[in-house]
Chain A
Amino acid sequence: MTDKEFDLLFQQSAQRQQAVEQINRQVMKTVRRDMRLKTLRKWARLVGLCFGVPVMAVLYVYILFTYMPEMPQAIRYVCYALPLGTLAVFFGKNLRDFSPFEV
Chain B
Amino acid sequence: MIFGTSDIELIREVLQSNNAHAFETLMKRYTSQVYRAAICLMKDEDDAQDIVQQAFIQAYRQLDSWRGENFGAWVTIIANHIALRQLEKEKQRRFRTGTSQLSGSDEIENLPDIPDEGYDEQKEERLQSLEKAVEELPEQDRQIIKWHYYENVPLQTIAERLGQTENNIKVRLFRIRERLKKKITHENNDR
Instruction: For the complex, give the distance between the alpha carbons of A42 and B174 in Å.
Output: 56
Task: Tell me the dominant secondary structure on chain A's binding face.
Answer: helix
A94 interface contact, C-beta 8 A: no
Taking beta carbons and an 8 Å cutoff, which residues of B are in contact with A? 12, 15-16, 18, 20, 23-24, 27-28, 31-32, 35, 45, 49, 52-53, 56-57, 60-61, 123, 126-127, 130-131, 134, 149-150, 177, 180-181, 184-185
Taking beta carbons and an 8 Å cutoff, which residues of A are in contact with B? 1, 6, 9-10, 12-14, 16-17, 19-20, 22-24, 26-28, 30-32, 34-35, 38-39, 101-102
Known contacts A20-B31, A20-B35; decide if A27 and B53 are in contact (CB<8 Å): yes
Query: Inside 8 A of B24's CB, which chain A residues have their CB?
Result: 24, 28, 31
CB–CB B27/A28 < 8 A: yes
Query: Inside 8 A of A34's CB, which chain B residues have their CB?
Result: 60-61
Q: Given B18, B123, B185, which contacts A35 in the complex, CB threshold below 8 Å?
A: B18
Q: Given A17, A22, A24, A39, which contacts B27 in the complex, CB threshold below 8 Å?
A: A24
CB–CB B20/A10 < 8 A: no
Offer 17 A-B interface pairs, CB within 8 angstroms, sorted by A: A1-B181, A1-B184, A6-B180, A6-B181, A12-B127, A13-B131, A17-B150, A19-B45, A24-B28, A26-B53, A27-B27, A30-B53, A31-B60, A32-B20, A35-B18, A35-B20, A102-B16
CB–CB B150/A14 < 8 A: yes
Query: Inside 8 A of B53's CB, which chain A residues have their CB?
Result: 23, 26-27, 30
Query: Inside 8 A of B45's CB, which chain A residues have their CB?
Result: 19
CB closest residue in chain B, given A102: B16
* Nearest-Cβ distance from residue B55 to partner chain A, whole angstroms: 9
Instruction: For the complex, give the distance between the alpha carbons of A19 and B49 in Å.
Output: 7
CB–CB B127/A16 < 8 A: yes
CB–CB B20/A13 < 8 A: no
CB–CB A23/B52 < 8 A: yes
Instruction: For the complex, give the distance between the alpha carbons of A102 and B18 in Å.
Output: 11
CB closest residue in chain A, given B151: A14
CB–CB A28/B20 < 8 A: yes
* Nearest-Cβ distance from residue B16 to partner chain A, whole angstroms: 6
CB–CB B130/A9 < 8 A: yes
Extra contacts besides A1-B181, A28-B20 (7): CB < 8 Å: A1-B184, A12-B123, A13-B130, A23-B35, A30-B53, A30-B60, A38-B18
